[in-house]
Amino acid sequence: MIKNNTIAAIATAPGSSGISIIRISGDEAFLVADRVFRHVGGKKLSESPGFRAYFGKIYDKNEPIDEVIALVMRGPKSYTGEDSVEISCHGGILVTRRILECVLHAGASMAEPGEFTKRAFLNGRIDLSQAEAVIDLIDAKNEFAVKSSLSQLDGRLSDRIRAMRAQILDAMSYIEAALDDPEHISLEGYEEEFTPKIVGFIEEIQDLIKNYDDSKVLKSGIKTVILGKPNAGKSSLLNLFAGRDLAIVTDIAGTTRDVISEQINISGIGFEIIDTAGIRQTGDVVEKIGVSRSISAMEGANLLLYVVDSSTELDENDRHILSIMGDRKVIIVYNKTDLSSKVDETELRALSPHATIIKMSAGDGTGFDKLKECMVSMFNSGSIAQNDQVIITNLRHKEALNSALTSLRRVLESIEGGFGEDLWNIDLQDAYESLGLIIGEAVGDDVVNNIFAKFCMGK
């Protein structure tokens, strides 16, 4: 266990609430708490066997501050691995801060952002990938992000990494022993046994890497940009997604002059829906700026919804919009189906052969459910199994896996090229260390400090 000074912080979000929690952790957590907490029965928290909750009051010297519940947890089985006390008080801003000040005056130091979780990592309660899952869970914007973070927090990624490292270490140890004592340990024929293992490691790492891009998008939210000519129905579509009148809708072309966005959730997947100004040739200076911002909004978009007014024939503006979409994922929203159609679907398919066409009416919502189903299926076609598959969404993990993959491929090349076993071990060592970066067993202090600097106070 890493010995540290005793720290404290407010562990709940700022603002008025029913309950707030002040967390204390460290060698003197119980002594600090005893200086401010008085149990109704006179019991001291330092005498508690642990994992008990006690009712009492917090005092500033002899002045009562609030009635609270003190939860006592003894290390090493607490979150941080240290002796810890969590004080649940009434959620007033002033009361919470006053209690924290009392705890600090009683001998605790103010915790840094993420310091509780950092101590959990340093004390061996969790590894680095699990610590990163904590902040991912806090920042989760949709159900997919929650599930993937919980999977990582449960140690499923760690288990896979540790299993591979253990096998690589066994192989390195055997090769090293054989090189040191060839009279008693033979490497003859070992490459036939070892090659399938290396191939298996490579395939397993490739499996972890392959869904990174899609899973990263699912975790952070899918940037979805609505494009089209003025008055095609883009703002009406945005309002359908938002469930309220977020954008002004009129019959006057060019009403939307700026980018408007809304975060929504469809079937557990987050989408950032971005409405843009209608794209067309215009002499209006303000509208030109809006058109320019519409085109800029396309940069980095994961999905484009091109809204076409089916009651109006296609023109050069339509063709221009389709030409600048590139090879992104595109859904053509064949809008205003409640009116007489003047757009031939065949021409749309010729202009954008890879796009999916969904017929709907943004005015009355006809076809909207089908559009949402199509959006979800584009990013969750079954290639990513949310319940069973270990999912990589962290760029640091992906880079470490890629590094390990490169090293293991070099091992395979050495075997196939007939090079000596001593060269195998050099690359095996590199792969072993690269995998260790993921769980924090071969990582520098600067990386650790950078990771925990992203945490919120009290966690």
DSSP string for 236-258? HHHHHHHTS--S---SSTT---S
Domain 223-379 classified CATH 3.40.50.300? yes
CATH 1.20.120.430 in the chain: give the residue spans.
131-211+391-452
What's residue 52's pLDDT?
A: 94
HEC readout, 42-98 = CCCHHHCCCCEEEEEEEEECCEEEEEEEEEEECCCCCCCCCCEEEEEEEECHHHHHH
Decide if 89 contacts 10 (C-beta within 8 A): no
- Which 8-state DSSP code applies to residue 392? -
What's residue 4's pLDDT?
A: 65
CA 256 to CA 97: how far, in whole Å?
45
Domain 131-211+391-452 classified CATH 1.20.120.430? yes
Please tell me whether the peptide bond between 76 and the residue prior to it is cis, using omega within 30 degrees of 0. Answer: yes
What's residue 388's pLDDT?
A: 57
Residue 369: count other Cβ atoms within 10 Å of its Cβ. 10
Q: Residue 86 half-sphere exposure, CB side, CA atoms within 13 Å? A: 18
- N- to C-terminal Cα distance for the chain? 19
Nearest to 308 by CA among 330, 282, 283, 285: 330
**Pairing status of strand 269-275 against strand 260-266:** antiparallel
Q: Residue 360 half-sphere exposure, CB side, CA atoms within 13 Å? A: 27
- 157 burial (CB, 10 Å; 0-12 / 13-18 / 19+) is buried
- pLDDT tens for the 459 residues of the chain, in order: 445 699 999 999 888 889 999 999 999 999 999 999 999 999 999 999 989 999 999 999 999 999 999 999 999 999 999 999 999 999 989 999 999 999 999 999 999 999 999 999 999 999 999 999 998 888 887 787 888 888 889 999 999 999 999 999 999 998 888 888 887 888 888 888 889 999 999 999 998 998 787 777 777 788 898 888 778 888 888 888 888 776 444 443 444 444 677 888 888 788 888 887 655 444 444 444 545 566 666 777 889 999 988 998 888 878 877 777 777 789 999 999 988 888 888 888 888 888 899 999 988 889 999 999 999 888 764 444 444 578 888 999 999 999 999 999 999 999 888 888 888 899 999 999 999 999 998 777 777 888 888 888 788
Nearest to 455 by CA among 111, 123, 8: 111
Phi and psi angles of residue 411, each rounded to the nearest 5 degrees, phi first: -60, -45
- The residues pairing with 84 across neighbouring beta strands, listed in sequence order, are 25, 73
Tokens at residue 83, please? 């002796």
- Which 8-state DSSP code applies to residue 110? E
Residue 138: count other Cβ atoms within 10 Å of its Cβ. 12
CA 244 to CA 236: how far, in whole Å?
10
What's residue 318's pLDDT?
A: 80
What's residue 267's pLDDT?
A: 84
Nearest to 375 by CA among 225, 208, 204, 168: 225
Tokens at residue 76, please? 């090493």
Q: What is the pLDDT of residues 137-192, one digit of tens each?
A: 888 877 878 888 888 899 999 999 999 999 999 999 988 888 888 878 888 888 88
Q: Give the CATH number of domain 7-125.
A: 3.30.1360.120
Q: Residue 457 half-sphere exposure, CB side, CA atoms within 13 Å? A: 13
CA 50 to CA 57: how far, in whole Å?
19
Decide if 222 contacts 271 (C-beta within 8 A): yes
What's residue 263's pLDDT?
A: 84
CATH 3.40.50.300 in the chain: give the residue spans.
223-379
What's residue 246's pLDDT?
A: 62
What's residue 206's pLDDT?
A: 94
Strand intervals (E) in 221-302: 222-228, 260-266, 269-275
Decide if 271 contacts 299 (C-beta within 8 A): no
Signed CA dihedral, 139, 142, 145, 147: sign only: positive
Buried b or exposed e, range 104-123, using 16+ CB within 10 angstroms? bebbbeebebbbbbbbbbbb
CA 335 to CA 280: how far, in whole Å?
18
Q: Collapse the DSSP code of 406 into the 3-class scheme (helix H, G, I; strand E, B; otherwise coil) and give the result.
A: helix
Dmax over Cα atoms in the chain, in whole Å? 90
Phi and psi angles of residue 436, each rounded to the nearest 5 degrees, phi first: -65, -25
CA 375 to CA 352: how far, in whole Å?
17
Tokens at residue 92, please? 């007033």
What is the Cα 39 distance to its own chain's centre? Answer: 41
What is the Cα 80 distance to its own chain's centre? Answer: 22
Nearest to 409 by CA among 197, 164, 202: 202
Buried b or exposed e, range 213-250, using 16+ CB within 10 angstroms? ebbbbbbbbbbbbbbbbbbbbbbbbbbbbbeeebbebe
> What pTM was computed for the model?
0.76
